[in-house]
Chains A and B, each alone.
Chain A
Amino acid sequence: MKFHESGDRKHKPMILMHGVLTPWQIWQPQIDFFKDNYYVVVPALDAHIEEEKSEFVSIEEEAEKIEEYVNNEFGGRVYALCGLSMGGKIANRIFERRNIKIDNLVLDGAPLVKGSAIAKVFMTRSYKLIVRKSKQRDKKTLENFKRDFLPEKYLESYLQFADTMSDTSIENMIGCVCNTGISPCENQNGTKILFMHGTKGNEVYSVKSARKMKKLYPSSVTVQRFDGCKHCEIALYYPEKWCGTVERFLNGE
């Protein structure tokens, strides 16, 4: 894991975590928006580091590394912990483990509910194929990637870590996402939680997760639904809207 830091250390810390096959640079608009008022930290998760090969072992291990960083750098407290998709699953796991204090937890499109065994097999095969064909610079795969997955400006960053991503990392990521559900905990620190989700296609998993979180922590969870939007669409394609939503939440509006 590699941490990218922006802003002034005197400000409150905000951590932004990306998802599967997504480079840390997708947070650049959010970094630019928040860095004047927050100390913004964006980790490149394991298996997603451009400069060196690394393995994604588990969500628990990613959570431990973030906790260790927060303990060392900020005395065990983070003002805002934000996660997109699998990054949201890691953020929620950190919240459940209660090893650091989190004032605000922001989850976007986080698949917190378990997936079935057959879904895991299909997803793993699909991701392995995407990464393998990306390594071969298969034209159709890269076109689909730009169409379905990320704005074109992030393609080069994606290809840099995809070139070193192993099948084991993919198996571990999908395995963790599908095998683990929500482990209810006592929200003793009074963490405020914002859960954002779209409504199209696979966002049904985020919708289910948001409902479950609201049921578990009714007074702490705010759900923001973006009708007609696909998975993480607002964060990636309309970051100014994402920033505005998060800023209002952090300001208690």
Chain B
Amino acid sequence: MLADFFKIKTGDILLFGITNEALGKHKFIVYLAKDNKLHVNAEFKKNKNDIYSCCKYYDRELCGSLEEYLKLTVLEIEEKAYGAFMDGAR
């Protein structure tokens, strides 16, 4: 459903990543969100004109600033990405 998706510009994306094989190789992006924090999203697709549609159900706040982001380890980012991917799991 369209209401489940929000749009972000390619220019706001800091990282295109993929979780390691032990986590199932799931694609994720890290981007600057409207709340000026960095978020991770694990359910997205590219549209025309460099716009990405992201599903709001697979989105988590990663950290509050670029400075904090630079201090994160790969594993910490992957954990957040996997958490976003698994949101809603029962």
Contact = CB atoms under 8 A, between A and B. Distances in A.
Contacts, number: 70
Interface string A181-201: 000000000000000000011
A26 to B, nearest CB: 10
A22 B57 contact: no
Nearest to B59: A148
A20 B22 contact: no
A147 B1 CA distance: 14
Nearest to A208: B24
A86 B1 CA distance: 26
B86 A202 contact: yes
A2 B87 CA distance: 27
Contact of A202 (B1, B20, B22, B85): B85
A231 interface: yes
B7 to A, nearest CB: 18
A230 B42 CA distance: 13
A118 B85 contact: no
Interface residues of B, number: 21
B23 A202 contact: no
A126 B83 contact: yes
A251 interface: no
A232 interface: yes
A201 B82 contact: no
B17 to A, nearest CB: 15
Contacts of A228: 1
Interface of A: 18-22, 84-86, 109, 111, 116-119, 122-123, 125-126, 144, 147-149, 200-202, 204, 228, 230-232
Given A202-B86, A230-B88, 11 more contacts: A116-B22, A116-B23, A118-B22, A118-B23, A122-B86, A126-B86, A200-B55, A200-B58, A230-B57, A231-B88, A231-B89
